[in-house]
Structure 1
């Protein structure tokens, strides 16, 4: 009997990939907090996740559009360049930097907590699959 990982894991894999990409963007914002003229970027996780759920296997159609990969967000096409938006803090610095370290750290930590929860869910799901396989073969 074949196991379909898509049906067994649902959209949690795509959710984890999105969390990783968001973590990369947020950590890049933190790394550039002192860069003159730098503006923080982010994407609406819920909007992109909903789009992945609307397509089979979490695949995003239209990833061949040149705009979708221009930010180096990955060939999987989950996050497209038109999903990423500038997010300026209310208080910029004199050098034009628009990154608020407090906001970026809070967003990063919230994303990490949610990523850990997704990892725990996937780990338990794999454990359940292993137990099911041992029951069938054991």
Structure 2
């Protein structure tokens, strides 16, 4: 049963991270016309590895030097392809594309989790 719990936890972690990323991307889109706003994002793959405990090394104190694995898991600033004159780094087309892709992946994770739970429910009922 541990494998099932791990599988469910993986999908639950993915949903939480996708939701967090959608909030970050939505904030970027909402501030597309705000002078000086810096677009933020994070590496989903790295954050997922950290969430399931697969990150290579972790820092345990604020004064520790971050490793390459730990350094890529937090919010960072997106590097614009075409910087604007007012200092805003949001590129609406990029943000909308990332938001759409992340939303689609969120829906996919949700469907996989629902199917897994439905299968377990049927197995418990003996169907």
TM-score range, shorter chain: 0.7 to 0.9
Give the Cα–Cα distance (whole angstroms) in 2 for the partners of residues 84 and 25 of structure 1: 9
Gaps of 5+ in 1: 67-79
Q: Are 2:99 and 1:100 aligned?
A: no
Residue aligned with 2:41, SS: strand
| Matched positions, count | 115
User: How much has 1:7 moved relative to structure 2?
Assistant: 3.4
Give the Cα–Cα distance (whole angstroms) in 2 for the partners of residues 114 and 106 of structure 1: 12
TM (norm. structure 1) is 0.73
- Aligned residues of 1:88 and 1:99 also touching (Cα < 8 A): no
Cα root mean square deviation, aligned: 2.5
TM (norm. structure 2) is 0.79
User: How much has 1:89 moved relative to structure 2?
Assistant: 1.1
Give the Cα–Cα distance (whole angstroms) in 1 for the partners of residues 23 and 102 of structure 2: 11
Specify whether residues 8 and 95 from structure 1 end up closer, same or farther in structure 2 by C-alpha distance, changes over 3 A only.
closer
User: How much has 1:61 moved relative to structure 2?
Assistant: 9.4
Q: Are 2:81 and 1:90 aligned?
A: yes
